[in-house]
Amino acid sequence: MATPLTAAKLLAALRAEGLTVHEVREWRTHNRNSKGPWGPTHGVMIHHTVTSGTASSVALCYDGHSSLPGPLCHGVIDKKGEVHLVGNGRANHAGLGDGDVLRAVIDERELPPDNEADTDGNRHFYGFECVNLGNGDDPWPAVQLEAIEKAAAAICRAHGWSERSVIGHKEWQPGKVDPRGFSMDSMRARIAARLRDRPDPAPAPRPPSRPAGYEPFPGAALFRPGQRHAVITAMGRRLVAEGCGRYAEGPGPVWSEADRRSYAAWQKKLGFTGEDADGVPGRLSWDKLKVPRAR
C-alpha cells in the first residue's frame, strides 16, 4: 500500500530510470478524482491502445471519448519507447476487476485467475497504455518493450515494490486480452532484473554505482540553518555552474537561506514543483547535481 506519487515525483522517477518523457497539456491536474478516490496505490497495470500513431493515441488517452472520459491512463508509451504523461490521479483505465488479484498484488505473490469484476481498479493502479493494435500481428519494437520495463520499474522503485506489483489488464478484468503480443511473466522477469541491477534510490550508504569523484547524499539533516560543512560549499558551486545560484556573495560552508533558494531553483529545473521544490536536498535531486568531493 502506498500514497500516490505527486506529479513531480512521478516525472522525476520516470526520467531517473532513463526514459524520455513528454508532458501533455495539463496532465498534472487532469484526473477523475471527482468521481471516486485515488489511492492507496498498490501496483502498475499495462494495456495496449488498439490504435496506431502516437499523436492520435495520446490525444485519445488524454481526452477519452463520449462513453469514457479521459484520462484513460497515466502515461502512453509509443513505439519509439517514449512516455507521454496524460494524467495524474484517478484515471479510467482499469475498471472493475478481481479482488483476489488485488490481494495477490498487495501480497506480491502469484496471481490467481481473474474470474470476478468486483473491485475498483482505477483507485489502486497506475496505468500505462502502449501504442499497439493488439491484433497479434502489430510488432512490439524492442525500444517500446524496454520503455514498458523502465516505466514499471520506476514506479516500483519509488514505492519499494517488486515486479509482482506489475500486472496486465488481462490479468485483472475477465474478458480482457491486453497487452497482447508479449507475456506478462516475461515482462515481470525483465522488471525484476532491472530492479536488481540498479541501486535503490532510497536513503542509504554510498550507492555502489556512485562515481568515485562525487559526494554521496549526506542526508537532509545537514541542510539546516547554521550547519557547517565543506560539502555545502561544493554544492553551492555546482548550483552556480548549473545557473541556479541565488547568492549575493559566496557560496560558503554554512547552510543559509541563499543555499535554500539556490537549491529550490535546481529542483524546479528538474521539474519538481510545490512542496517538492522546497530547497532541501533529497537523494534524487542530489545525485543529479553531481557534487564533486569536498576536499
The model's pLDDT over 165-220, given as tens digits with 9 standing for 90+, comes to 999 999 999 999 999 999 999 999 999 999 997 544 433 333 444 445 789 988 88
Split at pLDDT 50, 70, 90, the class of 1 is: low
Instruction: Please give the Cα distance from 132 to 51 (Å, whole number).
Output: 6
In angstroms, the Cα distances linking 37 to 64, 223, 249, 277 are 19, 36, 48, 26
**Per-residue pLDDT, 203:** 39
- Give the range among 22-31, 107-116, 284-293 with minimum mean pLDDT: 284-293
Question: Which residue is listed with cell 478481481?
Answer: 98
* 7-197 topology per CATH: Lysozyme-like (3.40.80)
In angstroms, the Cα distances linking 108 to 46, 164, 270 are 17, 5, 32
> What nine digits make up the cell of 72?
484513460
In the β-sheet with 43-48, what is the strand arrangement from edge to edge? 21-23, 83-85, 75-77, 125-130, 43-48, 166-168
**Per-residue pLDDT, 185:** 97
Please name which of 183, 135, 169 lies closest in space to residue 47, comparing C-alpha atoms: 169
User: What is the domain partition of the chain in residue ranges?
Assistant: 7-197, 220-289
Q: Residues 14, 74: contact at Cβ < 8 Å? A: no
pLDDT higher than 60, residue 88: yes
* 114 CB-near residues (< 8 Å, 6+ apart): 97, 98, 100, 101, 170, 171, 172, 173, 174
Q: Using one digit for the tens of pLDDT, what is the confidence trace for 36-46?
A: 999 999 999 99
**Per-residue pLDDT, 162:** 96
**Per-residue pLDDT, 295:** 59
- Give the range among 12-26, 52-66, 83-97, 201-215 with minimum mean pLDDT: 201-215
Percent residues over pLDDT 90 in the chain: 84
Question: Which residue is listed with cell 478484468?
Answer: 173
Q: Using one digit for the tens of pLDDT, what is the confidence trace for 22-31?
A: 999 999 999 9
Please name which of 239, 199, 219, 228 lies closest in space to residue 282, comparing C-alpha atoms: 219
Q: Which residue has the higher pLDDT, 210 or 269?
A: 269
Average pLDDT over the chain, rounded to whole?
92
Q: Residues 88, 11: contact at Cβ < 8 Å? A: no
Alpha helices, H only, the chain:
7-16, 54-63, 99-107, 142-159, 184-197, 230-241, 257-270, 283-289
- Give the range among 87-91, 164-168, 243-247 with minimum mean pLDDT: 243-247
**Per-residue pLDDT, 198:** 57
> What nine digits make up the cell of 35?
468521481
Strand partners, 167: 45
Other C-beta atoms closer than 10 Å to the C-beta of 146 total 16
